[in-house]
Amino acid sequence: MMDDSDSNDIIFVSQEITQDSDTDEIIDDDVDLVSETPKTCLPSSSGASVDIDYQILNQTELIDELNKISNETSAILGYNASICKALLQHFKWNKDVLIERFFESPDTDAFLKKSNLLDPTKHKKIVGKIDFCKICWEKNCLIGLLCNHLFCNECWSNYLSNKVYCEGRSYISCPEIKCNILADEEFVLKALKSVQTLFAYNKLILNSFVEVNKLIKWCPAVDCGRAVKVPHSESQQIVCRCGFIFCFQCLQQWHRPVPCDILKQWHKKCCDEVETLKWLNANTNDCPKCKAIIQKDGGCNHMTCRNLSCGFQFCWLCLGPWTDHNSGSYSCNRFEDASKRIKDAQKNLRSSQHYFHFYNRFTNHQNSLKLERNLFEKVSGKVEQMQQLGFSWIETQFLQKAVEVLIECRRTLMYTYVFAFYLKQNNLTKLFEDNQSDLELATEQLSEYLEHDLPADTDLVIVKQKVQDKYRYVEQRRQILLTNCDEGYEKKDYVFCLETLENMN
């Protein structure tokens, strides 16, 4: 979704208005308005790397893209770009499908009506009629769409402004009851009076263009406002100009080797486990003697352990022996199915313990990833120190590369624990675990070296060789692990169990 951070900028989607306005300065405050086309390496079906091109687009370039498609469609269909935009929106901005369906249709008017439009070559608009407006009931010059439901300028402006501001509509139907004919962009831009409303309307048009287009998505980073355009809609890594690295398919942080659907399950699991833990903390205690789980299902604080080999009586509040309370005989007001609930609680706890084994390691690498971003500052200081000794900027870039590799390894390790949590155990999973362990060890060694052991040695050759040896080995282990995950998943050697631990006893 586009952010609203640049609320003073005015985005004119209409090509005519763009040409008449100083939009180069007010649409986007990026210095570089030229789209970048980076490449990224992804696993193909065979596990090898594949170069996939994509474009990072700022808002000016998005408008150019929208107008380009509209104008190309207009030249083929013979309708103005304003009508073509509404048609393209109906066909999710798939120009080829729209054109194919249009020329397959024997009746162009019927075709346009399916998109809530009318053919301007077959319908004439009433212009300049003086009559009573059906909204305000004042006599005035009336205007309308090709459906010829006429209203005054003031009522049209108020109606359209309300649809834009209150309902967030970019494609707005006629205000006449039961009329669904859309107001084309040209009509709306003429009817709207305030600059703020024009800005909001054009922003909604741009949002609609991105949100229905399978090949264009907004960068999910806060306050970015850029979009990415891809040639194909597969899951792939996107490196935005703002620095955020994400998955095009699900818009989450890049999560290889975990598939998007598994990551979605993990996020749901994390939310569910928080609630489970809250319930366990609020409703259960360990028996102070045998550590069996006890559920408090009544108001009485006099508890008796139901473990047949224990039977310890204690106070729920302080967990001390009940004999110390000298409070006489108490009744616990137990429900008859208390034993079943305790068994369920034990099952939930075992499930949670298994989950937290992986979750704790996931969050550990996540936290390390956040902390190790600070290494860029330390490395920058080391680079400045080396430059003062006469080394060039290029000669010292191996340190920056080492931190980048370390961060990628942390991210990979994070998601391998999600991968491992859902991985069904078999004879081949030991290989995955060994590869994961090797990468973890190598990553920790690189991290420790960069944080604590980076020598003050002025011999750049020695320092460079040590650092390069370490980060090259770590990256090699990372690629081995990722390739193993990709190939194992593709060949079905690795199978995910989405109902992990549900049937634990």
Residue 56: beta bridge partners?
36, 228
Rounded to an integer, what distance in angstroms lies between the CA atom of residue 132 and that of residue 141? 8
Q: Which residue has the tokens 């060039």?
A: 392
Identify any residues that bridge with 227 across adjacent strands, giving them in sequence order.
57, 218
In DSSP terms, 463 is beta-bridged to: none
| Strands 55-57, 227-229: pairing kind | antiparallel
Buried b (16+ CB within 10 A) or exposed e, 274-284: eebeeebeeeb
Residue 300 annotated in active site: yes
Cβ–Cβ under 8 Å, residues 408 and 447: no
Structural contact between residues 143 and 153, judged by C-beta atoms closer than 8 angstroms: yes
Q: Which one is catalytic: 41, 300, 318, 497?
A: 300
Cβ-based neighbour number of residue 333 at 10 Å = 10
CA triple 316-321-327, angle to 5 deg: 80
Total Cβ atoms within 10 A of residue 62? 25
**Whole-number Å distance between alpha carbons of 439 and 451:** 18
What is the phi-psi region of residue 192: left when phi exceeds 0, alpha when psi lies from -120 to 50, beta otherwise?
beta
- What are the residue numbers of the active site? 300
